[in-house]
Amino acid sequence: MKIGPYKIKFEDRLKFTALDATRIALFSVILTLIAFSAFFWKEGINPIKGYSEMFTYAFATASGIELTIRRMAFMLFVTLAFIIPMRGGIWNVGAPGQLYIGMLAAVGIGIWGKGLPPGILIPLMFLAAIIGGGILGAFVGYLKEKMNVNEIVVALMLNLIMYYLVKYLIEGPWMDRSGRPESTQLPHAARLPMISDSLIPYTIFLAIALGIILYFFLSKTSFGYQIRLMGTNPNAARYSGVSRVKIGVVTMMMGGALAAIAGVHQVAGIAGVYRIHRYFAKFPGTWAYYGIVFGLIAVLNPMAAIVVCFLFTGMQVGTMALQGRLGMGYGADLALIGILMIFLVAGQFFYRRKIVFSKEITTADGEI
């Protein structure tokens, strides 16, 4: 292809650095924002005003930043739940199911342990969720590595099974007595403490700490190295004696546990709700899938995921608020994430390739 004096062609990348990834992600985001401007035009809103309202609400108002941070903790857990197994070469699209099992464990333990002090009850809830999510994840990992069953299909099926299980419980045995289709409310002792006066539970620190710890786990420990080796070069891993099954099961177990923690955060960390609300169990899973999007933007780096989750949760929160602020139609936030996703997928092309502009004869002088 030729533009003016320049010749454009695609070349294979020899190496792909985090900086390249950042550029591609930023480029996708910019394209998304440009494309999304069409939605503003359609509604008769100046895009600059639209975006400023969006970012102002999400990052610069007291109520918005509170929601952004609380939701970010949730997103960070599900993003990490996607990242860890993916680094070992396994797709964890089972976050919704693992999330549901975390919710069930939290509420089950919370109600069963009525009367226990918070110091015992809350750790028990986390423990139960981690075990539940871990088992669900490990099941998928085992099927994948031991029996070579497609992990994506199995996880999707498990999500749907768990969805119906949650629905059955909150409309049946666990239903609130006065008759709303939600689980019984958690006792006070089972509610997560909030940071001083705000409505942000301490799980946000847990989420950030996990992001940092998992980063060092992957980059500095020998087991982390084995995981990465399995993800990048399974043959080399096999020759060096790393067990596929072990990596598969353990990473999926970790992923499952992380998503389950998001479930605890969701039921025990939202003021005034403190139950499995029917909105948390919508078909088929909704937000937990965003972990995939955010994980890809962060190019599977747990530390980068912290920043990515903060920014993009903010964008989502801000877009949601556009209706109340500018009269934007419902669903704009979903549309924004959708467009972002498409550009990111397209951006993957440049993970392997780069564009080379060259003048006739002269060599490469620029790249994207």
Closest distance to other proteins from the beta carbon of 149 (Å): 5
Near other proteins in 127-186, by CB under 8 A: 143, 147-150, 152-154, 156-158, 160-161, 163-165, 167-168, 171-172, 175, 178-182
* Packing angle, helices 290-297 and 302-320, rounded to 10: 130
271: contact with other proteins by CB under 8 A: yes
Q: Is 354 helix (H, G, I), strand (E, B) or coil?
A: strand
Closest distance to other proteins from the beta carbon of 120 (Å): 25
Residue 227 vs 258, nearer CB to other proteins? 227
Could you say which DSSP state residue 328 is in? P
Residue 17 vs 221, nearer CB to other proteins? 17
Interface mask toward other proteins for 289-328; x: CB under 8 A:
xx-xx--x--xxx-xx--xx-xx-----x--xx-xxx---
Stretch touching other proteins by CB under 8 A, among 104-112, 252-260, 280-288, 354-362? 280-288
In contact, 51 and 33? CB cutoff 8 Å: yes
Near other proteins in 32-51, by CB under 8 A: 39, 48-49, 51
Near other proteins in 323-362, by CB under 8 A: 323-325, 329-339, 341-342, 344-346, 348-349, 351-352
The residues pairing with 175 across neighbouring beta strands, listed in sequence order, are 183
Stretch touching other proteins by CB under 8 A, among 59-67, 101-109, 239-247, 249-257? 59-67
* Nearest partner of 20 among 299, 305, 307, 296, judged by Cα: 299
In contact, 88 and 230? CB cutoff 8 Å: yes
Closest distance to other proteins from the beta carbon of 15 (Å): 9
Q: In what order do the strands lie in the sheet with 353-359?
A: 2-3, 6-12, 353-359
Near other proteins in 215-244, by CB under 8 A: 215, 219, 228, 231-232
Out of 62, 119, 222, 363, the residue judged to bind other proteins by CB under 8 A: 62
The residues pairing with 357 across neighbouring beta strands, listed in sequence order, are 8
What is the distance between the alpha carbons of residues 188 and 151, in angstroms, rounded to a whole number?
A: 39
**Pairing relation of β-strands 353-359 and 2-3?**
unpaired
Residue 8 vs 26, nearer CB to other proteins? 26
What is the distance between the alpha carbons of residues 292 and 92, in angstroms, rounded to a whole number?
A: 8
195: phi then psi, degrees, rounded to nearest 5: -70, 115
